[in-house]
Chain A
Amino acid sequence: MGGYLVRRLLYTIPTLVGVSVAVFLLVRLIPGDPARVIAGLLATNEDVDRLRVELGLNRPLYVQYALFMRDILSGNLGISALTRTPVLIEIGSRFPATLMLAITSTVLATGLGVVAGVSSAASYNSWFDYAVMTVALAGVSIPVFWLGIMLMLVFAVHLHWLPAGGYGGPDHLILPAITLAAFSLAIIARITRSSLLETLEADYVRTAQAKGLPHRLVIYQHALRNALIPVITVIGLQFGTLLGGAVLTETTFAWPGLGRLLVGAISSRDYPVIQGVVLIFAVLFVLVNLAVDVLYAYVDPRIRYG
């Protein structure tokens, strides 16, 4: 198990290096001069040029990359071109919001999704099963921003039960979390259902049923644990994606998360922030995947020794 862990950790390094190079090059390929974009249309060319020098954009590409790597390796993600604040502070001020939303949505989606998937599989082919799967289809198909706005209209504008957006206490978290959870919930429900249905076909389940065990015991005690293994992977992937910031939900609910920070940085060609945020995403995603792999290996002995 230890060797497995170490190997997985070592694999992450080339991934992260590759991501950092790719992002560094790609942002500079997009048309648009950051100095002009940041300084605005009214600034004179002299002031734009001065800004360009200040941002280090006039140096050759390899020098910029060398400086970038030097900064990264000393734990410094650079300074935002737009706000002159260290990128780490920019990210740090948005991270709690993103984390809160990601965790809440994942817990919501997992809790309801697994329950829905299990009940659906348990009552296979009944009206309940079809109803749940239809709702899941809706959850996957409905655009996130539409759902968010509809929820806002109903619960904030008409009923005044919840605030219409913004960052604050638990009542500010409810609508964005539900909006974001809808998609994951649907996927988790479907995966749980199909995984459980597949597990229920297995020999050992047929044995348990032949033994005369009650239906409920067969499902919850024997089949479910094994059926949940692929679901763990899905949950991990969903959580990792959510940590990357859910731009549409954040924009709809004015939630100050990393997704909005990234999109804003792209719109203003703020290279250091774009590079910093994408790198952090990559690190987080890699870590979450690592955790899922470890958990997977722990839960399923076949992976560990196979």
Chain B
Amino acid sequence: MLKRWVGLWVTLVLIGLVAAPPSNGQAQAVPRTLKFAVGIDVDTLDPAAQTTTTVQNMIDYVFETLVGLDYKQNKILPLLATSWQEASDGLSITFKLRGDAKFQDGTPVNAEAVKFTFDRLLDPKVTVPQRFIVDGIKEVQTVDPLTVRLALSKPVPLLLRNLTATVAAIISPTAFRKIGAANFTRDITDAGSGPYLFKEWARGTHLLLVRNPNYWGKKPIFEEVQFRVVPDAGVRETMILAGDVHVALLPPAPDVARIRSNPNLTLVEAPTDRTIFIVLNNQQGPFKDVRVRQAVNYAINKRAILASVLFDLGTVVDSPCPSSLFGYVPMQAGGWPFDTAKAKKLLAEAGFPNGFEATFITPTGRYIQDFQFAQAIASQLRNVGIRADVSTMEWPSYVAQITRPLASTKIEMAVLGWATPVLDCDGTLYGQFHSSQQPPGGLAPAFYKNAQVDQLLTDARTIANQDKRAALYKQAQTLIWNDAPWIFLWTQKWYVVTVKNLQGLAISPIEKWDAVYATWK
């Protein structure tokens, strides 16, 4: 009896599959809800507590900062502040606010709100993991309802850039008090001044935003924006292929070629300031010698790896500082040359004619094709006699490895990436090459120490004249490049896939997308 039913069902299913209608064409009308598939869930909605770029990107729709950034020209733009005046001694800056901006709860964006925001960011009792954004601000003074002055404890050349970060988003004191500090991580109703209102956050499922009908600026065309949490990269790609979402972040790198040639999809990709490199232990082991470090730089064919392992999702670096940052100067056209003969010669000079063995660790899935390119690099190193076995571990364990101080570190070679949300060489050069940043003081596991570089970088942090700073950075980059504390590799591209109808989605060098004013064809 069951056998007959099974036979019937199988036949019906087969008929259904064969006779199924062809795939739907794309809908042409502007969708009411623009749907994104993102890889991680919101951890906190509070701008001050933000640590992850993607989450910041989502709440950028709801909040605004005093100033914005034109990424193409790397210039500061007015946003909630229309103009600003730096004091001649560099110890304060005065902002004039636009008069017509209102928070979503109807209260005005005034000096009191700015003071409230920054007082909160400076309060040691409030959790602000990226407090470096307000580094140097001593006090906030309300001069008049539309004028606010930031008093500084020292000149801060990066101040305006820092203020473009999501962490420095201006929040409504009224809304904050209504929601309460404890609930602000999960409820930001009417607390921002941006083009979208917070509507709903269903944990693990989605973040839903609704267009702000009273926004002071240009109205976006999508009534709603939904960010759906889809942790698996392949599934994000499947969803956009199935028509369930309009934008999918970071599909799997190996599928990028196919996406590029798909007529229904657009791959939007752009270089970022995330520089990828191999950390070398500059103070212990075989990489102590600068010739060995230069040799391994010569030994790697970066272009080949980018083409065949990274599917062209990177750009070879020609400086320790990525090209999108202020202060960048190219050191060597085309990056460090690929020259196996020279590599072997340098190794022999340094006393390693037969190469040596080294440990080599990499994370998996943290950077584009990290485990894969590490293996490619290891095989290229074998050509010059260096035998490195690649081992991997999950991210928190990896972080524990790279934050060990010199006395207990086991690192000889390690894959790492570094990106700064502030487009200035300071973030990368100071953070990775100043000797004070070696673990445990910071996260520069190359243990590079050059007193001259230290001085140049410290000076560049404190003087306000941008031309002078640029000159200091040029010198610093030259010294660092020749010292080769890393194997310099590439900067990653950041990429999303959208349906063809969506136009105008741009990607900035700090790994954020901007689709607030995207259009639909």
Q: Give the interface of A toward B (CB within 8 A).
A: 30-34, 36-48, 50-51, 54, 82-85, 90, 93-94, 97, 115-116, 119, 123, 128, 149, 152-153, 156-161, 163-167, 251-254, 256-257, 260-261, 264, 267-269
Contact = CB atoms under 8 A, between A and B. Distances in A.
Q: Which of A31, A34, A93, A165 has the most CB of B within 10 A?
A: A165
B154 to A, nearest CB: 16
B396 A160 contact: no
A31 B443 contact: no
A164 B239 contact: yes
Contacts of A83: 43-44, 185-186
Q: How large is the interface on B (under 10, 10 to 19, 20 to 34, 35 or more residues)?
A: 35 or more
Given A33-B403, A44-B132, A93-B202, A165 B127 contact: no
A93 B399 contact: no
17 contacts: A30-B396, A33-B396, A42-B51, A42-B132, A45-B440, A47-B130, A83-B44, A83-B185, A85-B186, A157-B242, A165-B230, A165-B244, A251-B235, A254-B239, A256-B202, A260-B231, A267-B394
B129 A165 contact: no
Contacts of A48: 129
B40 to A, nearest CB: 9
Nearest to A155: B242
B345 interface: no
Interface string B434-468: 00000011110000000000000000000000000
Those 10 A-B pairs whose CB atoms lie nearest each other, nearest first: A256-B204, A32-B396, A40-B51, A39-B129, A119-B2, A164-B242, A156-B242, A43-B129, A254-B230, A31-B400
A94 to B, nearest CB: 6
Contacts of B185: 83-85
Contacts of B131: 43-44, 46-47
Given A149-B234, A165-B239, 11 more contacts: A40-B51, A41-B418, A42-B132, A43-B51, A85-B185, A128-B3, A157-B238, A158-B20, A160-B23, A166-B228, A166-B244
B395 A40 contact: no
B205 interface: yes
Nearest to A152: B238
Given A115-B2, A165-B244, A158 B23 contact: yes
Contacts of B3: 119, 123, 128
Interface in B164-209: 182, 185-186, 202-206
Contacts of A45: 440-442
Nearest to A36: B399
Contact of B52 (A33, A40, A153, A160): A40
A102 B462 CA distance: 60
Contact of B231 (A42, A123, A251): A251
Nearest to B24: A160
B229 interface: yes
Contacts of A257: 204
B142 to A, nearest CB: 27
B51 A38 contact: yes
Interface of B: 2-3, 17, 20, 23-24, 37, 41, 43-44, 49, 51-52, 124, 127-132, 182, 185-186, 202-206, 228-232, 234-235, 238-239, 241-244, 394-397, 399-401, 403, 418, 420-421, 440-443
Contacts of A94: 203-204
A233 to B, nearest CB: 24
A84 B235 CA distance: 29
B204 A261 contact: yes
Contacts of B186: 83, 85
B124 A50 contact: yes
Contact of A84 (B20, B44, B234): B44
B232 A251 contact: yes
Given A33-B399, A83-B185, A128-B3, A149 B238 contact: yes
Contacts of B206: 166
Q: Which of B2, B17, B229, B396 has the most CB of A within 10 A?
A: B396
A164 B403 CA distance: 40
Contact of B396 (A42, A44, A161, A269): A269
Contacts of B229: 254, 256
A253 B395 CA distance: 24
B51 A31 contact: no
A293 to B, nearest CB: 32
Contacts of B242: 152, 156-157, 160, 163-164
Contacts of B244: 156, 163-166
A38 B185 CA distance: 15
A166 B238 contact: no
A189 B242 CA distance: 33
B396 A40 contact: no
B337 to A, nearest CB: 30
Contact of B130 (A40, A157, A260): A40
Contacts of B17: 159
Given A254-B228, A260-B231, A41 B399 contact: yes
A45 B20 CA distance: 59
Contacts of B20: 158-159, 161
Contact of B127 (A51, A160, A267): A51
Contacts of B418: 41
A160 B441 contact: no
A165 B204 contact: no
Contacts of A157: 238, 241-242
A269 B396 CA distance: 8
Nearest to A40: B51
Nearest to A55: B127
A139 B241 CA distance: 27
B203 A93 contact: yes
B105 to A, nearest CB: 23
Nearest to B203: A93
B395 A267 contact: yes
A284 B132 CA distance: 45
A251 B39 CA distance: 10
A89 B229 CA distance: 18
A52 to B, nearest CB: 11
Nearest to B443: A41
Nearest to A269: B396
Contacts of B49: 84
B43 A54 contact: no
Contacts of B399: 32-33, 36-37, 41
A135 to B, nearest CB: 10
Contacts of A251: 231-232, 235
Nearest to A35: B129
Given A90-B203, A164-B244, A39 B238 contact: no
B238 A160 contact: no
Contact of B232 (A40, A156, A252): A252
A34 B129 CA distance: 13
A39 B124 CA distance: 15
Contacts of B397: 30-32
A220 B177 CA distance: 67
A82 to B, nearest CB: 5
